[in-house]
Amino acid sequence: MSSSASQNTVVTLVTLGLLIGTLADALFHLGGEIPPVPKLSTRNRPTADPQFDLRIQALFRTPPPLALAPATQSPFFTRYFAPPPKKETPKPVKKPTKKYQITYQGFYKTSSDDHKAFLLVDGAFRSIRVGEEIVDGLILMSLNRDEIEIGPPQLTQTQIGFRQAQTLEISQ
């Protein structure tokens, strides 16, 4: 037998001896009894002291500052997935308007060859020549025996027939 084989045998025998000694010591000196444990009751017993119950309940209440804390204090809170806030578009401001009732009553020709129209504007008679302002930017553009054309320059003109009333709304 070689010396390394004999050394392995000796180490194996020493290890087995220590193992058997440890097991024997555990079996003879530790005992095998379970310590006495009181039986648990499944009934709920009311406590004798009501103040004790209030103190226990107070332990589990959430303090007001934590209950009202915003969600942004969470380290996991993000606004990345939330849609951007909607921009409020200003409501268009309506310009104040004024209504005029205009009635064409006829026309006449002056000695200087000007044509003037008789107009009834909100109940008042007016004599207006072509190109002259009637009210607030309305100009008499043209006239003939049967109708007149009025309107602001470079915009749509309104035709008013002889003895016909027309209500026009003009922004101020």
Q: What is the pLDDT of residues 81-128, one digit of tens each?
A: 888 888 888 888 888 888 889 898 888 888 888 888 888 888 888 888
Once rounded to an integer, what is the mean pLDDT over residues 167-171?
81
Spatial neighbors of 137 by CB under 8 A, at least 6 apart, are 152, 170
Locate the domains of the chain by residue range: 97-171
Cα separation, 169 vs 99, whole angstroms? 4
Which range, 11-20, 27-36, 76-85, has the best average confidence (pLDDT)? Answer: 11-20
pLDDT at 31 over 70: no
pLDDT confidence band for 158 (50 / 70 / 90): confident
Q: CA–CA distance from 34 to each of 29, 30, 44, 101, 118 (Å)?
A: 14, 11, 27, 112, 125
**To the nearest whole percent, how much of the chain has pLDDT over 90?**
8
**To the nearest whole percent, how much of the chain has pLDDT over 70?**
83
- Express each pLDDT in 64-82 by its tens digit: 655 555 556 677 777 778 8
Tokens of 13: 């025998």
pLDDT of residue 16: 95
Q: CA–CA distance from 36 to each of 33, 39, 162 (Å)?
A: 9, 9, 121
CA contacts within 13 A on the Cβ side of 48: 0
Cα separation, 82 vs 127, whole angstroms? 67
Cα separation, 107 vs 126, whole angstroms? 11
pLDDT at 50 over 60: yes
Instruction: Indicate the CATH number for domain 97-171.
Output: 2.30.30.830
Distance of CA 34 to the CA centre of its chain: 67
CB atoms within 10 A of CB 150: 24
Once rounded to an integer, what is the mean pLDDT over residues 149-156?
76
| The pairing of beta strand 147-151 with beta strand 138-143 | antiparallel
pLDDT of residue 15: 96
More confident of the two residues 10 and 36: 10
